[in-house]
Chain A
Amino acid sequence: MSGELLRAEGIGKHFGGFVALEGITMSFAAGQLTSIIGPNGAGKSTFFNILSGALTPTSGKLHFRGRELNGLPQHRFVHQGISRSYQITNIFPDLSVHENVRVAAQALTVSYDIWRNRARLTELIARADTALEAVGLLAKRGELAKFLSHGQQRALEIAIALVSEPELLLLDEPTAGMGPEETKDMVALLERLAEKRTVLLVEHKMKMVLGLSKRVVVLHHGRLLADGAPDEIRSNPEVRRVYLGQSEGYG
Chain B
Amino acid sequence: MTSPSSGEAVAKPASSGLGWLLEQRVLLSIAVLAVLPWLLPSQALAVNVLIYGVVVMGYNLLFGYTGLLSFGQAAFFGAGAYFTGIAIGRYGVPWFAAVPIAVLLSTCLAALIGIVSTRTRGIYFSMVTLALAQLVYYVALQASSFTGGENGLRGFTVDRISLFGLQVNFLDPVNKYYVLMAFAALAMWFQSRILNSPFGAVIEAIRENEQRARACGYNVERSKLIVFMLSGAISSLGGCMLALHLSIVPLDILHYQTSGMIVMMVLLGGARSFFGPFVGAATFLILEDVISVWTSHWQLVVGTIFVLFVLFLPKGIWGTLLDTLRVGKARP
* Interface residues of A, Cβ cutoff 8 Å to B: 52, 54, 73-79, 83-84, 86, 90-96, 98-99, 102-104, 106-108, 110-119, 121-123, 125-127, 129-130, 141-142, 160, 164
Contacts and interface: CB of A to CB of B under 8 A. Distances in A.
A96 B211 CA distance: 18
Contacts of B212: 86, 90-92, 160
Contacts of A107: 216-218
Interface string B3-39: 0101110111000000000000000000000000000
Contacts of A130: 2
Nearest to A54: B215
Nearest to A108: B217
Contacts, number: 125
Contacts of B194: 114
A95 B204 contact: yes
Contacts of B216: 75, 78, 103-104, 107, 160, 164
Contacts of B196: 117-119
A52 B216 CA distance: 11
B39 to A, nearest CB: 32
Interface stretch (B129-137, B219-227, B288-296, B302-310): B219-227
Contacts of B217: 75-79, 104, 107-108, 111, 164
B119 interface: no
B195 to A, nearest CB: 9
Given A103-B204, A125-B11, A113 B209 contact: no
B201 interface: yes
Contacts of A108: 217
Interface of B: 1-2, 4, 6-8, 10-12, 193-194, 196-202, 204-205, 208-209, 211-220, 222-223, 226, 230, 330, 332
A103 B12 contact: no
Nearest to A93: B208
Contacts of A115: 193, 197
A103 B214 contact: no
A121 B8 CA distance: 10
Contact of B201 (A118, A123, A127): A118
8 closest Cβ pairs, A-B complex: A122-B7, A78-B217, A107-B217, A92-B208, A126-B7, A99-B332, A110-B198, A126-B2
